[in-house]
Amino acid sequence: MNNQSPYILLLCFLFCQCTLKDLPVSKDKVQKPNTLEYAKLFDITKNNNELILNVKDASNNTYSYTISKNNLPFNNVIIASSTHLAFMDKLGVLDKVTAISGEKYMHHPYIIKHLEKGEISDIGFEHDMSIEKIMDLKPELILAYKTANQPMFWERLKKLNIPVIFIHDYLESHPLAKLEWLKLFGILFNKEDEANRYFKDKKEIYDSLKGLIKNNNQPLVMTNMLWNDTWYLPGGNSYMAQLIKDAGGQYILAENKDIRSQPFSFEKIVTIAKDADIWLHVNRINSMTELNSMNKRYSFFKAFKTGQVYNNNALKNDKGGILFWETGTIEPDEILADIIHIFNPQTLADRKLRYYKKLSDK
């Protein structure tokens, strides 16, 4: 992937690194967790005046918190990943952002404008995050992702009573699961109805697009390109594999059962992908000439020979940020529609690609 990047303030909500059943909450007062249709890495249970949030990471560790409803909505928030902006923008709460992590990775016009005015701060990126800056800002909440820094950094924040919730939408394996994290943002910012309604609408569109697919013409699909002599393919149970399946394609690694990316040599890729009909995601490449100049061996592939190479860098902002990884998170239906049209141009025949583009000859 190209991008992009829990501990709760004791005055606001009690931190507890344990599972839901270990929380000191009376059983007769606990309601059932909010029903989530796709997301597997978080759940929320309402308990009178409290919310109980569980978040899982890639290793299936669980981080649990109780959040007082009296402290909602949060109004002074630091975000560590540009993908969080799409969720907050959709709910109309970007004005709650007081600091970001990594100015050069933030491309949203609102954030850029307020960074330039000095109204939003930059706390540094990943291992260069400044605890001193964070302390000065006195945030009510930091929205982060676990791998943005070392475990000792998060432990230090915990000891300083500085609140962090890990947002792991990017670890989900289904496009609608990624989108469903919007519901958590809805709760944190008192926009629950808006979040639920948006998710419902997008799910209905996504499902209707899937219903257009006929399985009698499934193109074989390869993805990505060499990176430092290694070719990483999304696992067969990954987000990208799901999109390809839902769009009516046959992914070259469909038999794989992993969510994580799988490393291959170029020689191995040739054996499994040389006859692929479609090639998706070639970094920031814009033309077949440019792709060929990167490695002459790319011409071994059928998709290269037939010119069926598409990249997800069509939609960019003024700073060159590829919006597939930002707004694409909240528009899975648009991405699916693009890929359906790429695989079978006669389906959605009037479709103008939004996130994807076919590589030009020059």
Q: Does 9 fall in a domain? A: no
In this structure, the answer to whether residues 40 and 131 fall within a common structural domain is yes
- Asked if residue 210 is part of any domain, the answer here is no
164: in domain: yes
Q: Which of 179, 203, 227 is the last residue of a domain?
A: 203
**Does 151 lie in the same domain as 293?**
no
Residue 7 lies in a domain: no
- Give the pLDDT score at 99: 97
**73 domain residue, yes or no:** yes
Burial grade of 24 (CB within 10 A; 0-12, 13-18, 19 or more)? exposed
Specify whether 122 is located in the same domain as 149: yes
Output the tens digit of pLDDT for each of the chain's 362 residues.
444 443 333 233 333 333 333 333 334 445 555 679 999 999 999 888 999 999 999 889 999 988 999 999 999 999 999 899 999 999 999 999 999 999 888 888 899 999 999 999 999 998 889 999 999 999 999 999 988 677 888 888 888 888 899 999 999 999 999 999 999 999 999 999 999 999 999 999 999 999 999 877 899 999 999 999 999 999 999 999 999 999 999 999 999 999 999 999 999 999 999 999 999 999 999 999 999 999 999 999 999 999 999 999 999 877 778 899 989 999 999 999 999 999 999 999 999 999 999 998 86
Domain co-membership, 164 together with 52: yes
Whether 5 is in a domain gets the answer: no
Cβ atoms of 65 and 6 within 8 Å: the answer is yes
Among candidate residues 178, 203, 228, the one where a domain is terminated: 203
Residue 228 lies in a domain: yes
The predicted pLDDT at position 362 comes to 63
- Tell me, yes or no, whether 258 and 225 share the same domain: yes
Same domain, 170 and 221: no
**How far is Cα 244 from Cα 222, in angstroms, rounded to an integer?**
10
Regarding whether 33 and 167 lie in a shared domain, the answer is: yes
Domain boundary among 150, 169, 203: 203
Q: Does 223 lie in the same domain as 191?
A: no
CA angle 130, 134, 140 (to 5 degrees): 155
CATH of the domain at 219: 3.40.50.1980
Same domain, 220 and 199: no
Mutual orientation of helices 192-210 and 239-246 as an angle, nearest 10°?
A: 50
| Structure confidence at residue 14 (pLDDT) | 33
Q: Are residues 165 and 231 in the same domain?
A: no
Report the domain count for the chain.
2
Query: Which pLDDT score is estimated for 15?
Result: 35
Q: Which domain holds residue 256?
A: 215-358
Structure confidence at residue 152 (pLDDT): 87
Does 198 fall in a domain? yes
Q: Are residues 21 and 83 in the same domain?
A: yes
Statement to judge: residues 225 and 119 lie in one domain:
no
